[in-house]
């Protein structure tokens, strides 16, 4: 069983527990466990088989370890099956609709017999939903819209698509009245390979006009919501764009909040609580002693100030503090400027000094307040970066500037669109020290694979270009196909004469896992091989990864001294961040290659570097961050 399948089962349990109105912290425990499994660089199944102690993993305790073991051993989970018996099929699906959560889903089912999205649509059209207590015409209309959205666009957007799409919005927002700062936050800033929505953050003294300007964006089909500090619009292609606006003094805290990830935020805020601090998107606050327990039941003091108090005060107060009180505080905080008779029992003027603001103008303020080093956005996934930052042991992540060359590039000799000379010149312009020309081998006939005698001619051309274009080394390479039996698609005498050999699977992608794993390991075991390219073959949103025991492949690569590629094509990003992280742990070098098929594609390097950073890679982990002389030595040593 794969990690994603285990994670899916645990998430399903969480959804069903939520529908059954279980303790929200228990629900979260299942989601946290799922996240751990999904972000794990190793196969949990293998860990179980090896008898390793799963309870050492974060968010995995006695129960979760047992559930995971059961899943691995039997392929089933009794806990899940029991819940499926008790909760009607389809209700979990209803929760995927925007604006429909566990409570509404359950009520729709209990009061209208709705248990599928189709049922819900019928009920809305029949006018049944709007008659429900707490529902109405508007919410029914909203649900109808949510159903349309759900059916239209299920998948997430590629990061590169988001990059395109964001440009005109940024251009529009730069003209917003009074805007002082503007940045894309969320998963986009963390450079996640796919993006659910675009999260924009702006700073302005007066947020109102900025929100209005945003809502008037010509590319929007509708405004989903708009309040005094935030708004959501929907673009023609279905992409949602969130805007949050704060005052400049809150810029850093807001950027931290809106960059996420959610799990990272929760962990950092919890560290704050343990240090007597409250961290939110407005800043970092310390509550004075007199401001704690006594004042808390009363209504809020507006944004940021509506603090819940010191850890000690919190402890004594939370017990006697009802949920109603909590929400009352929040509701009053909603419109602090416009509500004159704020909370129910607010005794103004209060003599106490109120919470002390410790910072929040800069993002570093948040980290410093809890004793952490600054964490680069790409690492903020709660995959150990918080603990590493507390120990001051964060890696020094590789940067685009560290990259000295590109080791997988195609030309017109196979399926590339630009000549060797053009590719070399473009590489030189990027400041590279070297570039490898790696056209396809014969078996990849659809991509114009080169036969050995073509290769001989190509080398003459490479020599000619190398003489003509000074200041960059041009390596003679090939992207050699790993055939179905694991042998390489080029005779040894030719392999030996290449400067660099990149190997990859391009056919028979549907093999069962053990066969595919044997095939790839046999492929890289050939002594002439330097780099394993796009190991899973996945195309994001289009083609599933091949079934491969990545752990076994990476262990073999470590033993053989073969490098593994992060293919920087934005629809590949293969290996992904999680596997690249495992490679690093095993001491496998990573080659970040653009697999460019035109000079323009060379810029994809940035996408590869982003994924490398998400994998915690440093310069020394990256093959093509080596200077030429070291690279040449490494290439020769492999022989």
Partner DNA sequence: GCCGTTTTCGGCCCGACTGTTTTCAGTCG
By CB under 6 A, the residues from 262 to 321 that bind ligand DGT are: 262, 265
Q: Is 196 in the site for ligand DGT (CB under 6 A)?
A: yes
The 169-188 contact track toward Mg ion, x by CB under 5 A, reads -----------------xx-
Residue 504 or 532 with smaller CB distance to Zn ion: 504
Q: How far, in Å, CA of 279 to CA of 275, rounded?
A: 11
Q: Is 507 in the site for DNA (CB under 7 A)?
A: no
For DNA, which residue of 20, 73, 206, 315 counts as binding (CB under 7 A)?
Answer: 315
Q: Is 199 in the site for ligand DGT (CB under 6 A)?
A: yes
Residue 30 or 494 with smaller CB distance to DNA: 30
Q: How far, in Å, CA of 450 to CA of 439, rounded?
A: 7
Find out whether 16 and 87 touch, Cβ atoms under 8 Å: yes
Q: Is 15 in the site for ligand DGT (CB under 6 A)?
A: no
Residues 501-540 that bind Zn ion (CB under 5 A): 504
Query: What's the gap between Cα 404 and its chain centre?
Result: 26
Q: Is 187 in the site for ligand DGT (CB under 6 A)?
A: yes
Nearest to 424 by CA among 474, 499, 476: 474
Nearest to 318 by CA among 309, 330, 331, 329: 309
Query: What's the gap between Cα 509 and its chain centre?
Result: 26
Find out whether 272 and 279 touch, Cβ atoms under 8 Å: yes
Residue 2: CB minimum distance to Zn ion, A: 24
Q: Is 242 in the site for Mg ion (CB under 5 A)?
A: yes
Query: Residue 522 has what DSSP assignment?
Result: H
Question: Which residue do the tokens 């008037």 mark?
Answer: 216
Nearest to 295 by CA among 361, 256, 225, 345: 345
Residues 192-231 that bind Mg ion (CB under 5 A): 197, 199
CA-angle at 164, arms to 578 and 244, nearest 5°: 80
Residue 38 or 197 with smaller CB distance to ligand DGT: 197
Helix axes 102-112, 117-125, angle to 10 degrees: 60
Q: Is 119 in the site for DNA (CB under 7 A)?
A: no
C-beta atoms surrounding 283 within 10 Å = 27
CB contact set of 636 (below 8 Å; sequence gap of 6+): none
Cis geometry, peptide bond prior to residue 261 (ω within 30 degrees of 0)? yes
* Cα–Cα separations (whole angstroms), residue 415 to 409, 412, 421, 538: 10, 6, 15, 19
Question: Which of the choices Mg ion, Zn ion, DNA, none does residue 489 contact, using the CB cut-off of 5 to 8 A by kind?
Answer: none
Residue 304: CB minimum distance to DNA, A: 6
For DNA, which residue of 11, 160, 306, 594 counts as binding (CB under 7 A)?
Answer: 306
Please give the helix or strand (H or E) that residue 536 lies within, else none. none
Piece of the chain touching DNA by CB under 7 A; list 138-146, 415-423, 582-590, 623-631? 138-146
Question: Which of the choices ligand DGT, DNA, Zn ion, none does residue 504 contact, using the CB cut-off of 5 to 8 A by kind?
Answer: Zn ion
Residue 135 or 607 with smaller CB distance to DNA: 135
The 244-263 contact track toward ligand DGT, x by CB under 6 A, reads -------------xxxxxx-
Residue 265: CB minimum distance to Mg ion, A: 13
Tell me the two tokens of residue 369.
């307040």
Residue 272 or 523 with smaller CB distance to DNA: 272
* Site for ligand DGT, rule CB under 6 A: 186-187, 192, 195-197, 199, 257-262, 265
Binding site for Zn ion (CB under 5 A): 504
Residues lying near Mg ion in the complex (CB under 5 A): 186-187, 197, 199, 242
């Amino acid at each position: 069983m794969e990690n994603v399948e285990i994670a899916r089962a645990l998430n399903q349990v969480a959804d069903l527990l939520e529908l059954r109105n279980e303790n929200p912290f228990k629900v979260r425990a299942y989601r946290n466990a799922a996240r751990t499994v999904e972000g794990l660089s190793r196969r949990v199944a293998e860990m179980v088989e090896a008898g390793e102690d799963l309870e050492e993993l974060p968010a995995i305790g006695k129960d979760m370890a047992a559930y995971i073991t059961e899943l691995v051993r039997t392929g089933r989970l009794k806990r899940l099956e029991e819940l499926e018996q008790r909760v009607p099929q389809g209700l979990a699906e209803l929760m995927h609709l925007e604006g429909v959560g566990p409570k509404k889903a359950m009520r729709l089912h209990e009061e209208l017999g709705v248990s599928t999205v189709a049922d819900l649509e019928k009920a809305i059209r029949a006018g049944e939903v709007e008659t429900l207590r707490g529902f109405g015409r508007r919410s029914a209309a909203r649900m109808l819209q949510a159903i349309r959205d759900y059916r239209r666009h299920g998948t997430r957007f590629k990061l590169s698509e988001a990059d395109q799409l964001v440009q005109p919005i940024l251009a529009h927002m730069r003209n917003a009245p009074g805007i002082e700062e503007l940045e894309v936050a969320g998963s986009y800033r963390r450079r996640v390979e796919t993006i659910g929505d675009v999260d924009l953050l702006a700073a302005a003294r007066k947020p109102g006009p900025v929100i209005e300007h945003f809502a008037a964006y010509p590319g929007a089909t509708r405004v989903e919501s708009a309040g005094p500090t935030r708004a959501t619009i929907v673009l023609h292609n279905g992409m949602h764009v969130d805007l949050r606006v704060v005052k400049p003094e809150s810029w850093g805290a807001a950027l931290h909040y809106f960059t996420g990830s959610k799990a990272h935020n929760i962990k950092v805020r919890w560290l704050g609580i343990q240090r007597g601090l409250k961290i939110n998107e407005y800043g970092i606050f310390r509550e004075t002693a007199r401001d704690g327990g006594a004042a808390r039941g009363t209504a809020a003091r507006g944004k940021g100030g509506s603090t819940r108090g010191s850890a000690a005060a919190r402890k004594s107060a939370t017990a006697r503090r009802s949920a109603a009180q909590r929400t009352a505080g929040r509701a009053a905080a909603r419109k602090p400027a416009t509500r004159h008779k704020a909370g129910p029992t607010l005794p103004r003027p209060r003599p106490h000094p109120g919470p002390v603001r410790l910072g929040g103008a800069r993002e570093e303020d948040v980290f410093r307040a809890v004793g952490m080093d600054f964490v680069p956005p790409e690492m903020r996934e709660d995959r150990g970066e918080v603990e590493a930052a507390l120990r001051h042991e964060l890696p020094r992540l590789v940067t685009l500037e560290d990259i000295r060359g590109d080791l997988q590039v195609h030309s017109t000799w196979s399926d590339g669109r630009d000549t060797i000379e053009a590719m070399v010149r473009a590489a030189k312009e990027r400041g590279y020290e070297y570039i490898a020309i790696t056209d396809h081998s014969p078996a990849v006939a659809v991509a114009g694979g080169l036969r050995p005698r073509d290769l001989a001619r190509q080398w003459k051309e490479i020599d000619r270009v190398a003489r003509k274009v000074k200041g960059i080394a041009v390596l003679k390479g090939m992207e050699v196909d790993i055939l179905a039996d694991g042998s390489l698609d080029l005779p040894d005498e030719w392999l030996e004469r290449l400067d660099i050999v990149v190997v990859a699977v391009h056919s028979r992608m549907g093999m069962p896992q053990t066969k595919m794993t044997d095939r790839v390991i046999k492929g890289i075991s050939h002594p002439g091989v330097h780099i394993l390219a796009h190991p899973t073959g996945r195309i994001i949103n289009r083609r599933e990864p091949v079934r491969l025991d990545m752990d076994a492949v990476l262990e073999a690569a470590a033993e053989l001294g073969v490098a593994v590629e992060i293919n920087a094509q934005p629809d590949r990003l293969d290996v992904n961040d999680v596997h690249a992280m495992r490679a690093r742990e095993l001491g496998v070098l990573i080659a970040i290659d653009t697999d460019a098929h035109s000079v323009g594609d060379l810029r994809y390097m940035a996408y590869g570097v982003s994924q490398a950073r998400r994998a915690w890679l440093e310069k020394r982990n990256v093959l093509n961050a080596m200077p030429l002389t070291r690279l040449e030595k490494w290439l020769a040593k492999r022989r």
